[in-house]
Amino acid sequence: MRHLRRTLAGGIVAVLALTSCGSSDTTSSAPETGGLEKTTLKVGTIPVPDSAPLQVAIERGFFKAEGLEVQPEVVAGGAVATQKLLGGSLDISLGAYVGTFLAQDKGAGKFKYVSDSYGAAPGAFVIMVKKDSPIKSVADLKGKTIAVNVLNSVSQLTAEVQMKVAGVTATPNQFVEKTFPDMPGALENGQVDAAAMVEPFITVVSKAGGRIVVDEMTGPTENLPIAGWFTTEATAGKYPKAIAAFQRALGKAQALVANDRKIVEETLPKYTKIDAATAAVISLGSYPTSLSETRLQRVASLMKEYGYIKNDLDVKSMILQPPAN
């Protein structure tokens, strides 16, 4: 196995945005809240389709019905979000499985996933090139620079997998960190040869004549889990009833968006920069309605195979299943 070159800061997909709803944290054991140990939860989120269920749950009052107030909070990046969780200033956060598994493997903390959020689907995670690029196939990516939003992220991992399938070996120095908004320009002006992209930037580049070289979520990575909502083991142990209430409320929203794309389309413009017209045509990932040890183990196994983690990760220990009712 190749030398482990991963870093914690690069390992975690960025956890960004929704404006904070400035309300002070409260705790209560009053009967009307169902005996919740805590009635306000600060939650890190990201302004992309992954977070749609959280937004829906807030807007439709699902959290309120459980006696909870959810405060979305802006976090500068994945490493900062993890520090905030460990420090107690965030209670729950959206996080990519690759990043959280990296943190757990490195001993940064002990984490629990409380809900799945987003999974791969056709067309939602692709590697693109500009229209006049000589790159025609995955094999042509050998030695070429590829933009990824965060080094050592799910985008880089799946790019490496697709290159291996095509018979070429990826090297660490061919991946370049670029934010998603910067990728279209970086492609056009030749800063990078290819870019691992998500929506709405796939649609932006396609309209400019850009081409998809490969769907990153095919073959060994088909239907790969992408991100979920996680907390620390300590927080889960301290506030079990509040976490369970969060799980119930979010689960209702997750079920809605999983079965009705229109709800996602209507919600995206409210918390992202994706307008209604674009929301109607972009490729969306999936919204799984249960936490599956088998599904998440696929991520950990790929990470071990490609040298992202050193140890066999006990994924089951990182899953906090929602209450049955």
CB count in 10 Å sphere of residue 325:
5
Q: pLDDT value at position 47?
A: 86
State how far the Cα of 99 lies from the Cα of 97, in Å rounded to an integer.
Answer: 5
Domains and CATH numbers, the chain: 9-121+223-318 (3.40.190.10), 125-221 (3.40.190.10)
CB 200 within 8 A of CB 274: yes
CB 114 within 8 A of CB 94: no
Rg value, the chain, Cα? 19
Q: pLDDT value at position 81?
A: 78
Q: pLDDT value at position 290?
A: 94
Token pair for residue 138?
């995955």
Q: Is 190 exposed, middle or buried (0-12, 13-18, 19+ CB in 10 A)?
A: exposed
Tens place of pLDDT per residue across the chain (325 aa): 444 344 333 333 333 333 233 333 433 333 345 699 999 999 998 888 999 999 999 999 999 999 999 999 866 666 677 888 999 999 999 989 999 999 999 999 999 999 999 999 999 999 999 999 999 999 999 999 999 998 999 999 999 999 999 999 999 999 999 989 999 999 999 999 999 999 999 999 999 999 999 999 999 999 999 999 999 999 999 999 999 999 999 999 999 999 999 999 999 999 999 999 999 999 999 999 999 999 999 999 999 999 999 989 989 999 998 887 6
Q: pLDDT value at position 46?
A: 82
Q: What is the pTM of this model?
A: 0.86
State how far the Cα of 147 lies from the Cα of 116, in Å rounded to an integer.
Answer: 27
Q: pLDDT value at position 73?
A: 85
Q: Which residues contact 193 (CB under 8 A, 6 or more apart)?
A: 129, 133, 135, 141, 144, 145, 146
Q: Which residues contact 278 (CB under 8 A, 6 or more apart)?
A: 200, 203
The closest of 31, 274, 225, 223 to 116, measured between CA atoms, is 225
For 195-206, b/e burial (b = at least 16 CB within 10 A) is: bbbbbbbbbbbb
Residue bearing tokens 């906090």: 320
Instruction: Give helix 52-59 / helix 240-259 axis angle, nearest 10°.
Output: 100
CA distances from 78 to 5, 15, 53, 57, 260 (A): 18, 5, 20, 23, 30
State how far the Cα of 131 lies from the Cα of 210, in Å rounded to an integer.
Answer: 5
For 117-133, b/e burial (b = at least 16 CB within 10 A) is: bbbbbebbbbbbbbeeb
The closest of 92, 76, 71 to 14, measured between CA atoms, is 76
Which H or E run contains 229? strand 225-232
State how far the Cα of 280 lies from the Cα of 199, in Å rounded to an integer.
Answer: 12
Q: pLDDT value at position 78?
A: 66
Which H or E run contains 176? strand 175-177
Token pair for residue 144?
């070429």
From the centroid of its chain, how far is CA 8? 15
State how far the Cα of 190 lies from the Cα of 145, in Å rounded to an integer.
Answer: 10
